[in-house]
Amino acid sequence: MMLNKILFPLFFCILFHFSFIFNFADANQQEAEALIKWKQSLHSHNQSFLSSWSRSTGFTAKNSNVINPCHWLGVGCENGYVTRLNLTNVGLTGTLYAFNFSSLSNLTFLDLHDNNLFGNIPSSISNLTKLTSLHLGNNQFTGKLPLELGKMTTLTYLNFINNFLSGHIPSSLGNLTSLSHLIVGNNRFVGTIPPKLGNLVSLKELRINLNNLTGPLPPSIGNLRGLKVLSVYGNKLSGSIPKEFDNLTNLTLCFFSNNTISGSLPAKLCQGGILQDFCASNNRFSGTVPKGLKNCTSLTRLRLDRNHFVGNITEDFGVYPVVDYIDLSYNNFEGEISSNWARCKNMTSLKISDNNITGKIPPELGLATKLQYLDLSSNQLVGVIPKELGNLKSLFNLTLSNNKLIGNIPNELGNLLDLASLDLGGNGLNGTIPEGIGNCLKMINLNLSRNSLSGVIPWQIGNLVNLQVLLDLSRNSLSGEIPLQLGKLDSLEDLDLSHNNLSGQIPSTFDQMQSLMSVDMSYNNLEGPLPDGKVFTNAPLESFMGNKALCGNITGLMPCPRALNISKRNGKDLVILIMTPIIGVGASLCIIVAVALYLLKGVKREKTRRIGSHRENMFSIWSFDGKLVYEDINEATEGFDTKYCIGVGGHGTVYKAVLSTGQIVAVKKLKTAQNPGFVKGKNFEAEIEALSKIRHRNIVKLNGFCSHAQHSLLVYEYLERGSLGKLLGNEKEARELDWEKRVNVIKGIANALCYMHYDCSPPIIHRDVSSNNVLLDRDYEARVSDFGTARLLCLDSCNLTELAGTYGYIAPELAYTMKPTKKCDVYSFGVVALEVIRGSHPGDLISPSSSSSVYTSSSSSSAISDTSLLENIPNLIPKDLLDTRLPYPSSGLAHEIAIIIKLALECIKDDPHVRPTMQYVCHQLQPTRKLALSNSIGKIMSWNEGECSSEGAKSMRSSSCSSGHKVDIV
Ligand SMILES: *[C@@H]1O[C@H](CO)[C@@H](O)[C@H](O)[C@H]1NC(C)=O
Ligand SMILES: *[C@@H]1O[C@H](CO)[C@@H](O)[C@H](O)[C@H]1NC(C)=O
Ligand SMILES: *[C@@H]1O[C@H](CO)[C@@H](O)[C@H](O)[C@H]1NC(C)=O
């Protein structure tokens, strides 16, 4: 008896232990098999990545028949059971159909976000009865959410952001009462917000933004008293905000924007005193500013723009010590601009345009020195522009147009060295245009039109070589000659000098304004010939009518005397103009031109002097992480010894450097002729900084820049596998680069080009795409290098021929236009794509600058006159287009390769106009899935910047690119 009592627990204990081991082995085995089965269902390129997921690893000492998945990549265990699976951003491609959820029912954590998973979310996912956290965001899932999700009551975190899910948001989600995060933004959900979501009393974050949801916010939302983040922007919501909303005293972020919500804002907004970001823009809200906002000192951003708000706002707003961004534009507010705004010391953007604001601009605004964006346009403002605005050194957009401002334009605005856009149009400003404006070298948009400005156009405006969008001085009383320095504005696209009293000739330097797309010189006193250049010959008569005696080849204008026309064909027209007095150009013009030339020279001399003084400064180095020091690099490469040289590119020699920190970098030593470090100054720094901020999986990261008296260095991340060109030239390595990898490489290059052409502002043209400028990382992912370098080296001016790219990849038209365009990159891409498929440069197939490319002309014997044939019959790809070192591609791949060849052949067409855009190429290469995703993200990003983000203030800066996947934040 006694013995029994002792033995029993002992026995039990052992049995328990035994059964535990037994279960462990069994369950564990089942879990392992389930994972392997799922792995096998994924696309083959995942197989190598998940190589640890294999039956042959993880033998335990105790029992060699047991597979132990607990050491597999991304797998976490507790007590021997698989409880966590974390595989984010690893390129998983496939579905969840083969995922046996029942066998993995011990999972508490499943995170597969940032992959390429597609298909439906299976209802069997609800068999994960212990799951607390599920993150499937940033994939390409489609279909409806399974109602069974409502059974997963252990969930606290649920995230499906950025997929293509459709149908209704299931009411059954209201059963998940432990949920603290429900994040289903940026899908295609329709229908109303289920009132049952009001049961989710633990909810802290509810993000259902960017769907197609309709109807009002349900009153039950008031039950979510712990809610900190509510994001419903970008739906089709209507109705008014329910009064129960007042219960949400814990709100810190609230985004209502881009819906059609009406009624007034909750009066008690910010009653919790912790509201930071409130965004109601672009709705149908009416009424006055809620009282609660006045003392809301936690506010960092407030957007009420594009609604029907009314009321006198003079005293409605308080002092917000941390506020960054205020936008009240496009409403019916009246009253005055409070000097309180000046006490918002951290404010970077203040936008109150398009209201009915009266009174003067308070000079105190000059104290809000962090301001970058000030837009008070389209109101009834009176008085002068306070010269104190010249203290706002960070300002890059100043828009005061369409008010009733009078007086002079303060010369102090010339202190705003970061100013990129100045719009004072449509006021009553008088006096002359201050010369100081010529100091604002970052200006890309200048509009002083529709005022009463008089005097001459200061020649200093010609210094604003970054002017790009618009130079509009129309409808003033400007007189005198048009300064020939304006011809230097070769990025300018739109020039309007109409409706003034300008006299003399249009300077022939205007020939050089290569970017000009629109010009208006009408209603002045101009005479003489129109300059050469497409825009002048293609412009309508209206652009030149109402002048004294303009002549040229435009219907309605009198033709010019013959001699003049001929002389102007010559490139050196300026000199010739001076040299040819026979044509009746008065001596006075000669003098003016001579004086102007002298002045120009003066500018140059000044510049050379500046360069000289920089040179004395032997050692000028800057970098972004502070660790990249010239000496360090110099040491690591033993003074740039050739044994560290890993390549020679268009712009210089590349070295591998292992820095003292252990970091490996690739250092490009620029050719001395292209040593820009001293000359470029702030512009150059800004550009480098912008380029170094670009993050794209297919673009080599630029770490920074070092400048030294002898050489300038661009410092890039180092990539193990070196250049694509080198790899293709190596028998063994080329075999490693199988068809699937090659297709992926081509897609990568296309993605990089699409990104730079369409997601960067202004777009970045590479100018030197070649197989030597495409590097491969360890996983054979393509990374395009040298992006932006061409433009970087051309910031001021440069000899374009020097930078025309690599022979064999240059678009034929570059030979005569010398103006690189996106289509030049498209051409080079086509060549590289063919090279990758063929394994060698297709030079013998394409004969540059002629139309006899073998595969595009129908006369050739092996020609595919109708390239669409390729796509339909992929096993017909001619052998001479394929790399014979590889076996003929499997049918699926052959199909993709055929599409690539077809596209590439279109890309290398001689006529740039018939080449596709990179956007089209990317679209074709990634039918629907990827592209739709990147498009929608692109849309969100631009939308975010424009509509709902303080980033908007920065969106016009040089080369800012939208940043891919970062949508979760809003
Ligand atoms: C798994 O879930 C599905 C759908 O909810 C259900 O029909 C099935 O019975 C479950 N399987 C197991 C083994 O629980
Ligand atoms: C707005 O209110 C201010 C004082 O708060 C007053 O001086 C001003 O006249 C009012 N403006 C309008 C248009 O009612
Ligand atoms: C702007 O305010 C003025 C004076 O208060 C008023 O007469 C005018 O109708 C208002 N205009 C608009 C468009 O609201």
Which tens digits make up the pLDDT trace of 654-704? 888 887 666 788 888 876 544 444 444 555 666 676 777 777 889 888 877
* Closest ligand 1 atom number to CA of residue 102: 13
How many angstroms separate the CA atoms of 239 and 272, rounded?
A: 25
Express as a percent the part of the chain with pLDDT over 90.
48
Lowest mean pLDDT among 16-20, 405-409, 439-443, 809-813: 16-20
Q: Which residues sit with their C-beta closer than 6 Å to ligand 1? A: 102, 123-124, 126-127, 148
288 C-beta closer than 6 A to ligand 3: no
Catalytic residue list: 768
Q: Compute CA distances 898 → 126, 142, 242, 806, whole Å.
A: 42, 28, 57, 26
User: Which residues are 147's β-sheet partners?
Assistant: none
Candidate from 124, 128, 131 with most ligand 1 atoms within 8 A of CB, to mutate: 124
Residue 132, pLDDT > 90, answer yes
Residue 420, pLDDT > 70, answer yes
> Which residue is closest in CA terms to ligand 3's atom 10?
356
**Model pLDDT for residues 739-768, shown as the tens digit of each residue:** 999 999 999 999 999 888 887 777 788 888
Residue 865, pLDDT > 60, answer no
Q: Which residues sit with their C-beta closer than 6 Å to ligand 2? A: 312, 314-315, 334-335, 358
Nearest to 32 by CA among 17, 46, 48, 52: 52
> Which residue is closest in CA terms to ligand 2's atom 8?
335
**Model pLDDT for residues 522-549, shown as the tens digit of each residue:** 999 999 999 988 888 888 888 999 998 8
Average pLDDT, the chain: 79
Which segments of 50-201 does DSSP mark as H helices, in order?
none
* Closest ligand 3 atom number to CA of residue 332: 14
> Which residue is closest in CA terms to ligand 1's atom 7?
124
Ligand 3 centre to CA of 357 (Å) is 9
Ligand 1 centre to CA of 122 (Å) is 10
Ligand 1 centre to CA of 18 (Å) is 30
Asked if 440 and 411 count as a contact pair (C-beta separation under 8 A), the reply is no
Residue 775, pLDDT > 80, answer yes
Amino acid at site 601 = K
Cis-peptide, bond into residue 762, ω within 30° of zero? yes
> Which residue is closest in CA terms to ligand 1's atom 9?
124
For the chain, counts of helices (H) and of strands (E): 18, 48
* Residue range 83-112: mean pLDDT, rounded: 93
Ligand 1 centre to CA of 100 (Å) is 10
Residue 490, pLDDT > 60, answer yes
More confident residue, 61 or 39: 39
Position 794 scores a pLDDT of: 54
Which segments of 1-49 does DSSP mark as H helices, in order?
2-41, 45-49
**Model pLDDT for residues 38-59, shown as the tens digit of each residue:** 999 998 777 777 888 887 644 4
Nearest to 918 by CA among 764, 810, 808, 783: 764
**Model pLDDT for residues 242-289, shown as the tens digit of each residue:** 999 999 999 999 999 999 999 999 989 998 899 999 999 999 999 999
Residue 358, pLDDT > 80, answer yes
Position 791 scores a pLDDT of: 64
Please write down the HEC assignment for all residues of 824-889.
Answer: HHHHHHHHHHHHHHHCCCHHHCCCCCCCCCCCCCCCCCCCCCCCHHHHHCHHHCCHHHCCCCCCCC
Candidate from 336, 358, 360 with most ligand 2 atoms within 8 A of CB, to mutate: 336
* Residue range 902-923: mean pLDDT, rounded: 86
User: Predicted confidence band at 817 (pLDDT cuts at 50, 70, 90)?
Assistant: low
Ligand 2 centre to CA of 336 (Å) is 7
User: Which are the contacts of 714, defined by CB distance < 8 A and separation ≥ 6?
Assistant: 667, 668, 670, 702, 705, 789
How many angstroms separate the CA atoms of 715 and 674, rounded?
A: 16
Most distant CA pair in the chain, distance: 134
For residue 313, which ligand has an atom nearest its CA?
A: 2
> Which residue is closest in CA terms to ligand 2's atom 12?
335
Residues, the chain: 970
* Residue range 596-604: mean pLDDT, rounded: 43
How many angstroms separate the CA atoms of 697 and 480, rounded?
A: 54
346 C-beta closer than 6 A to ligand 3: no
Span between the terminal Cα atoms of the chain, in Å:
70
Position 89 scores a pLDDT of: 81
How many angstroms separate the CA atoms of 592 and 524, rounded?
A: 19
Lowest mean pLDDT among 237-241, 601-605, 802-806, 939-943: 939-943
For residue 312, which ligand has an atom nearest its CA?
A: 2
For residue 334, which ligand has an atom nearest its CA?
A: 2
* Residue range 384-398: mean pLDDT, rounded: 95
> Which residue is closest in CA terms to ligand 2's atom 4?
314
Position 816 scores a pLDDT of: 62
**In whole angstroms, what separates CA 162 from the centre of its chain?**
18
332 C-beta closer than 6 A to ligand 3: yes
> Which residue is closest in CA terms to ligand 1's atom 12?
102
User: Which are the contacts of 550, defined by CB distance < 8 A and separation ≥ 6?
Assistant: 506, 521, 526, 527, 528, 529, 530, 544, 557
Ligand 3 centre to CA of 424 (Å) is 22
Ligand 3 centre to CA of 948 (Å) is 28
